[in-house]
Every structure is written in structure tokens, then in C-alpha cells.
Amino acid sequence: MSEALFPRRKTKVVRIGQVEIGGGRPIVVQSMTKTRTAHVESTVRQIKRLEKAGCQLVRLAVPEIADALALREIKKKVQLPLIADIHFDPRLAMASIEAGVDGLRINPGTFGPKSRLKEVVERAKERKIPIRIGINSGSLEKDLRSRYGEVTPEAMVESALREIKLLEDLGFYDIKISLKASDIQRTLKAYRLLATRVNYPFHAGITEAGTLFRGSLKSVAGLSLLIREGLADTIRISLTAPPEKEVEVANLLLQDLGLKKAGINFVSCPGCGRSQVDIQKLATQVERRISSLKASLTVAVMGCPVNGPGEAKEADIGVAGGQGTGIIFKKGKIIKKVPADKIVDELVKEVFNLVDEERKSE
């Protein structure tokens, strides 16, 4: 698969730090810290782990002034662009801007009198700081809930258009938008509807998706549909799990769709009665030991002599299990036969050797 299979809607381009979003640019992966922002050192450590995992943007909750003030120190210690997530209090937005954030996530309608919003917008415009409007099904305005009877996609879109108008009336257009619900159908329909009304880039995701396993499945299902329809310019996988896991799942999704070269393409068979090695143990150990590699290689771990050799030969490096042995393939050719207890070490060694060879040839 390639980018050509997933045509993107035409949008404005928004720049957050050095990261460009929309306008057909590659889909950007982001996450959110789960530390108290005012706890600078733990927040910095988490951001650095996110960066190592392949995160491109990071959002931080700013519920109190101590959190806003901490952003200045955090900004000095990390490389990723920072987005301040603020609700209700424009003073926190102003303090975050002064601290040097690269983006804001607000809902303008919660800031009270228009004069308070105007001050934030004017300062954001001066500093070239984009604003994300974040519509969440769990916090829809009461009048819209009453009029629509429930939180419908149409109600979410109307809420977004209200918020957009508040910014546009102040001459601000450096906007991106999210419309998140915890179910796929409502989220997808809301993005579809809004895409016919505005040309701002979309931040996409299924909110409150769940724990690592179930939340990953739901998020991947929903985001695959949004990406297929060109409705995702930047994405977050929302999990009840460490934020690095959100980034890992997002990058694997984009890699498997052929939209990003995020690292090793790992292939393994499910195992069956023909397996002559402990394929679950073998695949888990190999994947764990090569997971840090960023090289664009396919590695296959196969458990039987029926489909195994063919799959292993198609990979850059692969192994097919046999009776007490493993046959290791490299670029389609058999390079060695090893005893079962040496498969992991030998296969991993050959993967790293191939990575080194390809780096030297660049």
C-alpha cells in the first residue's frame, strides 16, 4: 500500500513548532503526558520516552497556574513541540503562551466574555501559535444536548462550527479541529459532516478507547476508516496505558498501512498443529529484542515447514522452524541451519548484521 491509496482532503496547513499538519503532509503522531505538568522532572522524562517511541507532538494538561509556569522549564529540556491543553481559564492560556508553548488546545466558548478570548487570540496570532478546537462527546453544550435529544454527530458538528466562528470573528484562522467520541460510528460521521463545511486540518482519534488491548483494537479500527477517507491529518491513540504505548500503536498502524517507515515490519505465523517449535515464545522473544530498530526491514518468524520457508524467503531476514532446528533465510537464500535453542540469538544477530550492512551502503 502507499499514500496514493489514501487520498487526503485538501486543507490549510498548520505549523506547530517545526511540524506541519494538513495540506497533504504525512500524518503526524501525537500523544499526551499523564504526569502532573507542574512536576517538571517526571514530565520531562515522560516526554523523552515519547520522543524515543516516535512521537512528533505532545500535549500537556494545564489545569492550574503552577502547570502553566512549569511549561517554560519543560520547554528548555525537551525537543518535541508542546501543546497546552486548557479548559475554562484564559489566564492559563496567556501564561502558557508566555511560557513558550507551540500550540493551544482550547474551546473558545468556555472562556467567558469575548474580550477575554480576544486577548488570548491576539497573543496567539502574534506568536504564530495554532489553536486546536477539541469537541468531545462527553462535554457537549447543554443546549445542544437538549435540542438533539442526545449527543449526535450533527450536534458535535454544530458545536465545532460555533467554536470556529468565535475564532474567525476575531480574524484567527490558524486552526485545527477534533471531533471525538468513544464509539467509531459517531466519530466517523461527525468528521464526514464537518469535512463538507471547513477546510481546516483534523486531529483524529477515538477518545476514551479503553485499555491497551481493547483500546488499541477500537482505535485502529476507527482510525483506519478515517484515514481511508482522508479525514486524519494528525492522530492520537487514546489508551488507559503508558503514553509510549499510544505512540507505538499509532506508528504501527501507519506502518502497516504503508504510510510510514517506522521500523521493523515483523511477520509471524499464528502457530498450529504443524508447528515444530514453540512459535509463541520464539516470536515474542525475537520481536522484543529487535523492537528498538528503526530500519525498514521485514523479519519473519515461521513455525512449520509447510508455509514457513516461503514466508521466510520473502522477508529480508526470516526463520522457518523444523524438527528441533531453524533454517534462517537472508534475502531469499538459506544462510544457516541452527538448533532450536539458538534460533533467537542467531536470528537477532543476523538482523543487526543486515542493518549494519545497509547503513554502510547508504
In CATH, what number is assigned to the domain containing residue 344? 3.30.413.10
> What is the chain's mean pLDDT, rounded?
93
- Over residues 151-171, mean pLDDT: 97
Strands, E, within 14-101: which ranges? 14-16, 19-21, 28-32, 57-61, 82-85
Q: What is the grid cell recorded at 338?
A: 541452527
Residue 11 inside a domain? The answer is yes
- Over residues 198-217, mean pLDDT: 96
Which of 256, 276, 294 is the C-terminal boundary of a domain? 256
With 90 as the cut, is the pLDDT of residue 260 above it? no
For residue 125, how many other CB atoms are within 10 A of its CB?
16
Q: Are residues 298 and 229 in the same domain?
A: no
Strands 14-16 and 19-21: antiparallel
Which of 235, 256, 277 is the C-terminal boundary of a domain? 256
In angstroms, rounded to a whole number, what is the distance separating the alpha carbons of residues 87 and 70? Answer: 17
Q: Which of 171-175, 237-241, 258-262 bottoms out in mean pLDDT, i.e. has the lowest?
A: 258-262
Q: Are residues 238 and 323 in the same domain?
A: no
Provide the pLDDT for residue 1: 41
Q: Are residues 61 and 186 in the same domain?
A: yes
- Over residues 196-202, mean pLDDT: 98
Q: Are residues 23 and 110 in the same domain?
A: yes
Q: Are residues 241 and 319 in the same domain?
A: no
For residue 184, how many other CB atoms are within 10 A of its CB?
18
- 44 CB-side CA count, 13 A: 13
Residue 55 inside a domain? The answer is yes
Q: Are residues 35 and 130 in the same domain?
A: yes
Q: Are residues 176 and 242 in the same domain?
A: yes
Q: Are residues 33 and 54 in the same domain?
A: yes
SS3 content of the chain, % helix, strand, coil (to 5): 45, 20, 35
Q: Tell me how long the chain is.
A: 362
Q: Are residues 124 and 252 in the same domain?
A: yes
Provide the pLDDT for residue 262: 64
* CATH number of residue 165's parent domain: 3.20.20.20
Q: Are residues 243 and 331 in the same domain?
A: no
pLDDT digits (tens, 9 = 90+) for 279-317: 899 999 999 999 888 788 899 999 877 777 887 888 999
Query: Could you tell me the residue range of the domain that residue 172 belongs to?
Result: 3-256
pTM of the entire predicted model: 0.90
With 70 as the cut, is the pLDDT of residue 3 above it? no
Residue 360 inside a domain? The answer is no
Q: Are residues 213 and 287 in the same domain?
A: no
Strands, E, within 40-180: which ranges? 57-61, 82-85, 103-106, 131-136, 175-180
CB 67 within 8 A of CB 37: yes
Q: Which of 17-31, 122-136, 284-298 bottoms out in mean pLDDT, i.e. has the lowest?
A: 284-298
pLDDT digits (tens, 9 = 90+) for 329-358: 999 899 999 999 999 999 999 999 998 988
The number of folded domains in the chain is 2
Closest CA to 198 of 272, 143, 135: 135
Q: Are residues 181 and 227 in the same domain?
A: yes
Q: Percentage of residues in the chain with pLDDT exceeding 70?
A: 98
Strands 325-330 and 317-322: antiparallel
Which of 202, 222, 256 is the C-terminal boundary of a domain? 256
- Over residues 150-173, mean pLDDT: 97
- Over residues 184-210, mean pLDDT: 97
